[in-house]
Amino acid sequence: MTIEQHPGPATVRAVFERAARAPSLHNSQPWRWRWDGSTAELLVNAERLLPATDMFNREGVLACGVMLHHADLAWAAAGWESRVSRFPDPSVRAHVASLEPRNPHPPGEAELLLGRAVDARYSDRMPMEPPPEWTTTPRVLEFLGDRSQTKVVALDAAGVGELGRISQLTGRLRRYDPRYGTEMAWWTAGPEHGDAGVPADARPSAADRAQVPVGREFPAGTAAPAEAGGADAARVVVLCTDGDAAADLLDCGYALSAILIECTTQGLSTCTVSHITELPAARTMLAELVGLPHPQVLVRIGTARTPPPPRTPRLPLDRILAGETGQGSGRAGGGEAG
């Protein structure tokens, strides 16, 4: 006879606190967890989607895939296996996954390493030095993508140059989209969104920003300037799926997280890039560049020129975790997309 064991409230809270370091578009954190004492349900939070920037809500689901993988790693580092089922209830579209921690055991070295990488990862928007070992790293990233039905295409230097031109086109088109501008202004406004958004100290100055042609155009920030000058030498990988269904996006987010965390364990800097896949015209050009029809998201990968900025904020745990956790008001339970 096996005795079922479930984690206690303190463990549940510690695990989700760590998982909440997951990155999301503009640090919007479009997710909620519901814990029933043995299983956690992950839901898209429709109140935190960005309709002007992410007009097809692809990045909202993608970010939930990132969160799912972060939770998986956080549970593993705490010594629990995760049994995950994706879209367990087809009648509730917002319920993207359920995760049941089981089989408690002492965590291994790899699990602890990946857990620490969850804490250490950040988005580096500064120009970077090239990544060393770029012959082997793309193979590892392709492997991680394959495990989640996601193709990872590493661009060569000419490809990155072309990407810079597509990025520039995106910036010019977005100038004529006041709703996009309003959303950008809101999520970068600063202290009034103290628990979300992209703070000024995580955004480069205009001069450093100009050195990164493939980056999104954020308002100039106050990040410490790069000591060594020169244009960005980061490499870029493009994550592509077979389709644009929610299941593809959840898988792609899971793969994105695995790639960001793997790079972090290698001491590499990363920055997720998505403005190019948001606009259909630019996305079509990117699809032609990589020769695959559904590019979803890109990652710049390199060696940091500057120390990490202060940690970006996150919502208090009780805003994203509801249920039997021994604390909290359960506010995170309602309002999700249907």
Ligand X SMILES: Cc1cc2nc3c(=O)[nH]c(=O)nc-3n(C[C@H](O)[C@H](O)[C@H](O)COP(=O)(O)O)c2cc1C
Query: At closest approach, how far in Å is the CB of 67 from ligand X?
Result: 9
Dist. CA 238–CA 259, nearest whole Å: 11
Tracing tokens 């760590």 back to the chain, one arrives at: 18
Separation CA 321–CA 285 (nearest Å): 40
Give the nearest distance from C-beta 189 to ligand X in angstroms: 13
Q: CB nearer to ligand X: give 198 or 325.
A: 198
Residue 11 or residue 149: which is nearer to ligand X going by CB?
149
Minimum CB separation of residue 15 from ligand X in Å reads 18
Q: Is 303 helix (H, G, I), strand (E, B) or coil?
A: strand
Residue closer to ligand X, measured from CB, 66 or 99? 66
Q: In the complex with ligand X, which residue's Cβ is closer, 202 or 255?
A: 202
Closest residue to ligand X, judged by C-beta, is: 23
- Strand segments, DSSP code E, in the chain are 31-35, 40-44, 81-86, 95-102, 151-154, 235-240, 269-273, 295-302, 321-323
CA distance 20 to 276: 26
Smallest gap from residue 147 Cβ to ligand X (A):
18
Closest CA to 210 of 187, 229, 228: 229
Q: Which residues pair with 31 in a beta bridge?
A: 44
Which chain residues interact with ligand X by CB under 6 A? Answer: 23-27, 59, 62-63, 66, 122-123, 125, 198, 202, 216, 271-275, 297, 312
* CB of residue 204 to ligand X, shortest distance in Å: 10
DSSP of 69-82: HHHHHHHHHTT-EE
Whole-number Å distance between alpha carbons of 107 and 212: 39
For residues 150 and 325, which CB has a smaller minimum distance to ligand X in the complex?
150
Nearer to ligand X, 78 or 273 (CB): 273
| Min separation Cβ 29 and ligand X, Å | 9
- Rounded to whole angstroms, the Cα distance separating 57 from 293 reads 18
> What is the per-residue DSSP string for 230-283?
S----EEEEEE-S--SHHHHHHHHHHHHHHHHHHHHTT-EEEEE-HHHHSHHHH
Find where tokens 């890039």 sit: 273
Q: Shortest Cβ distance from residue 106 to ligand X (Å)?
A: 29
159 burial (CB, 10 Å; 0-12 / 13-18 / 19+) is: middle
Give CA–CA dist 25/49, Å, rounded.
9
For the bound state, the minimum distance from the C-beta of residue 257 to ligand X, rounded and expressed in Å, comes to 8
Nearer to ligand X, 98 or 272 (CB): 272
31-35, strands of its sheet edge to edge? 81-86, 95-102, 40-44, 31-35, 321-323
In the complex, minimum distance from the CB of residue 75 to ligand X, in angstroms, rounded to a whole number = 20
